[in-house]
Structure 1
Amino acid sequence: MSIKVRPLSYALGAAVTGVDLTKPLDAATRAEIQQAWLAHSVIVFPDQELLPERQIAFGKLFGELDDHKAVPFYRHPEHDEIYLITNRKIGGKESQTKDTGRLWHSDHSFTTHPTTATMLYCCEIPPVGGNTMFANMYLAYETLSPGLRKVLDKLEAVHSLEHYTSSNPFFRQRDPDQIAKMHKLSPPVAQPVVRTHPETGRKALYISEGQTSHFVGMSREESRGLLQYLFDHSVKPEFTYRHAWSVNDLLMWDNRCTMHLALADYSHEHPRHMHRLTVLGAPCGRLLNAEELAAA
């Protein structure tokens, strides 16, 4: 089988057609998909009617899947590999994930095994909005001055789930006991500010407004100006792609070289229901030591 790949924007993103993900894939097709993903960082498979079992089978072609023990409260009732992002009521209660992803971030960068690939499947989408934006962090790094790149190459930054929940106003609506348990399961980590992609060899910025609080060895106040510059620089329009979802889209993106943002551009009067898989990544970053934690 030979897939067809159509770029969707200048910066990143491509549509992949000519493949039926409801059926097992041969090695050659899987390799073609891998190459398209590495080349475009975000790929979409439109018109795929996937049961959870088939989405999981496809995800396993790219590595071990996360069972979401770090955020265990929002899993599919029958499949631990699927994390529900939905504004439907669950058990008669308001969904705790209806406003997930409202800040720019890279999935699970607050852990020492950050996500390699995320695969998000659209089950329901509002008639207008519900879009997701992506930023190319290769371009964000490569367009910085040589002097600044040299400085950043040597730095680490603190990523934490606690920063994400405290800086995101939508988390104030979540169950505080669940949030406290999530913080305990995911203590702050130090990640490289610049990450070299293990497959492409390109360097990418690895910071985000959602999960990066400050540079290791610096205070928040000292870090604030440069971090804000990098946040703003990373999401310039020429570095981004905005995906307008259709039902049965499967989107796959590379967290090692992209950030994403779920836009609040729709009404919760209409359902938005997604199934998310995440492929566990190789070790990256480290736990902070006692002195660094105290300084944080």
Structure 2
Amino acid sequence: MSAQRQSRVTDPRSFGRVAVLMGGTSSEREVSLDSGRNCLEALQRRGVDAQAVDGIPALVQALVAKRFDRVFNILHGHHGGGEDGILQGLLDALQVPYTGSDVLGSALSMDKIRTKQVWLSLGMPTPRYVSLAKKSSDVEAAARSLGLPVIVKPACEGSSVGVSRVFSEADLPSAVALAERYEGDLLMEQMIVGEEYTVGILGAEALPTIRIVPAGEYYDYHAKYVAEDTQYICPGLSGAAENEMRALALKAFQAAGCGGWGRVDVMRDRGGANFLLEVNTAPGMTSHSLVPKAARAVGIEFDDLVWRVLETSLDRGGGA
């Protein structure tokens, strides 16, 4: 696979001084801190002049003081996370190169509803859904129109934050109350019964699929970041089915205006049909995270993966 290509640069000095941006103030702060520490250590092991920066205000101060030449963004989420386009717009204005997607890709993919609208406009498969404003009186009607079971979640959160699975109308009020703790509209989505997959994207290529098999019934926050018994099968498929899902994920990633690196989550129903769920433009890089697992399957170890992610910042000028 061509993802095994040689790195574009070999001299760590080519990157200059790198801010590894982590933490922040979103609901995914703790995951981001874990990801950030891992990425920082990987870059330092490779000789990169990298330092940790916690949150956007601290980064602004450091950039004004000319302390850094580029940013490795490993913030997760929005509202102080770095995945909603605000950070990207700031760095574009300051002409500071950064990793990952630009303003458009970051802002669009953070909003699950509008991402689905783009995919549907292009004839790409995604579960049927209803967008609900907070305090909506149409919750029961929306559930009936989709048909139970459904998923209820905030439209602009990640890491399974605020997500509920609803099997009866009696469970709707508690699911809605949980999702309404977070800002923005709610997304009610048809529940696809089948297997859960994720596809990492590195540059213009899709990495091998990963089939996620949680020990419990669902792949929730605990299964993602705490449990040690979740199984990750990579590649998750074979032959034509594997190639089809990888091609779909890459197409979905690019359709959402994303670039650099990321991850696309997909459900595959019992009939073998694929359904796009969402895009992550700054995926986790923890010990439980999935992009490193997929990269390792094609011979890219963690330190090399982090280096290649940093190389995506070269596409925005600066450096080698």
Smaller-chain TM-score bracket: under 0.3
Larger RCO: 1 or 2 (CA < 8 Å, sep 6+) = 1
Higher helix share: 2
TM-score w.r.t. the length of structure 2 is 0.26
